[in-house]
Homo-oligomer: A and B are copies of this chain.
């Protein structure tokens, strides 16, 4: 039969629990208990097992552990894109915080497509993720239904509206939109434009727009003095939308962009078109990315604490796993960062 070698690192080179137990002079059961922090183990054994594990550089096989204990310590996250820092930062915070709890994150992207998200969700569930982090509250019905049936709890981010028994970590997008409107109103602006991103399948974009419009409406601004455009979340998209906006008559004097990417594109267009910012038109962004401080003029924008949101999502996940709570809504504070891209209406100091 020649089963041959049975010592560590001779077959596959991978140290197994058995090897640790062998070196520690105990059974695999005891070794397992020690490594899992089970309380009922004598201190002497415990010491030896720990020492052996370190000496051998033991790394548990997660597939086996998962199979046996129905516990993969894997978390899935689906974001629209990694190309935008706002999502990358969130994932970064999520991953780091989760790593501290021994959990790993599997990442995938949907490109703002709910159908893509649905497919990714099934894949992730098949991989045995314990939980899944989603962006926004609006999803394909199948996505949510599938998650429910599979017993995988979703965590919604960038929003803090709460479904029943759900977990959400984010911001009040409506309020944020309204805040921007209020700020622009105070500066005396009367005609407004908005570059809203793509609102289809994107409740965050929708709410920002609605909050903005609602506040404007309350202030008595007629709908005819507000132009809303949609544009893909690209610099060029923002530039193109701004061009359209600047060609309407009468021209708006204040533009709210649904993201800094769009706002930066808008400002870029103004540069080439020779339109003074904020002299002729004020521009407000959303997200407070690093670029907001790098463009000229520096961008007035709403701060979104993306990294903190990822960390908060991780925390919620952990608490959820501990069955401490079943329904958690965390609202992260946002605040307007006033820089140089906004000014009082009618200050048109022609360049």
Contacts and interface: CB of A to CB of B under 8 A. Distances in A.
A137 B66 CA distance: 33
Given A151-B12, A291-B291, A295-B295, A107 B91 contact: yes
Chain A: interface size category? 35 or more
B95 A88 contact: no
Interface string A223-246: 000000000000100000000000
Interface in A42-84: 57, 59-64, 66-67, 72, 74, 81-83
A59 to B, nearest CB: 4
Contacts of A9: 149
Contacts of A107: 91, 95, 105-107
A18 interface: no
Interface string A115-133: 0000010111111100000
Contact of A150 (B13, B62, B81, B290): B13
A92 B81 contact: yes
A149 B59 CA distance: 12
A120 B103 CA distance: 11
A151 B291 CA distance: 42
A204 interface: no
Contact of A122 (B59, B104, B127): B59
B59 A125 contact: yes
A215 to B, nearest CB: 29
A92 to B, nearest CB: 4
A236 B66 CA distance: 44
Contact of A89 (B13, B83, B291): B83
Interface of A: 9, 12-14, 57, 59-64, 66-67, 72, 74, 81-83, 85, 88-89, 91-92, 95-96, 99, 104-109, 120, 122-128, 146, 148-151, 235, 264, 268, 290-291, 293-296
